[in-house]
Structure 1
Amino acid sequence: MSPVNESLFEFPCDFPIKVMGKAHPEFAETIVTVVRQFDASFDATRVETRPSSGGNYIGLTVTVRAHSREQLDDIYRALTGHPMVKVVL
């Protein structure tokens, strides 16, 4: 019997990741650097930025080209463990 593929995604695929943190001038650049550890060809123009209504927080939607579930898991772990990041969805 072959192992069951539990992924609902077909790889490679474009996968949006939402990242929120305190507003900081280098937040977006820092997040791009983290993502590039797992995807060296990540295009920084694929980052959408939304400041919070009060301007204290910033939300980013980072669309990565995912090649495996493991790659996505690694990106999520790196982002959630970063001190500038409050939430990753």
Structure 2
Amino acid sequence: MTDTEVKAPKIEFPNDDYPIKVIGDTGVGNKDRIVAIVEKHAKINHALNVERQSTNGKYTTIQLHIVATGQEQLYEINSELRATGFVKMVL
């Protein structure tokens, strides 16, 4: 590896406070659908949930803190959220 290459940080599992940020279209029931999908795969600390809307109200960002158990779990959450059609990005 050269000095200009950057390695992605390693995530240690299990991680009891792993943040997931979901950006999607604002709509009735979308937050509930996002939470339901994530709860199928992981335990959520609901006390730390944060929700914000974009300036024009078109998009909503929801940040959830989960117990992450592995890379496969994170991939499944990402895939299922993206398949909804209203989720634009999962960070």
> Normalised by the size of structure 1, how large is the TM-score?
0.80
Q: Which runs of 5+ in 2 are unaligned?
A: 1-8
On the 8 A contact 2:45/2:64 being kept in 1, the answer is no
In structure 1, the partner of 2:71 is 69
Match of 1:15 among 13, 18, 29: 18
State the 4+ residue runs in structure 1 displaced beyond 3 angstroms: 43-46
Say whether 1:83 aligns with 2:81.
no
Deviations 1:22-44 (A, max 9, x none): 111212111000001112x3344
- Identity percentage over the alignment? 32
Corresponding letter in the other structure for 1:27: N
3-state SS of 1:37 partner: helix
Q: Is the 8 A contact 1:28 1:60 kept in 2?
A: yes
Please give the secondary structure, in 2, of the residue aligned with 1:24: coil
How many residues get paired? 82
Q: 1:29: which partner in 2?
A: 32
Q: What code does the residue aligned with 2:78 have?
A: Y
CA distance in 2, matches of 1:85, 1:74: 14
1:50 is matched with 52
2:21 counterpart letter in structure 1: K
Deviation at 1:78, TM superposition (A): 1.0
Deviation at 1:18, TM superposition (A): 1.3
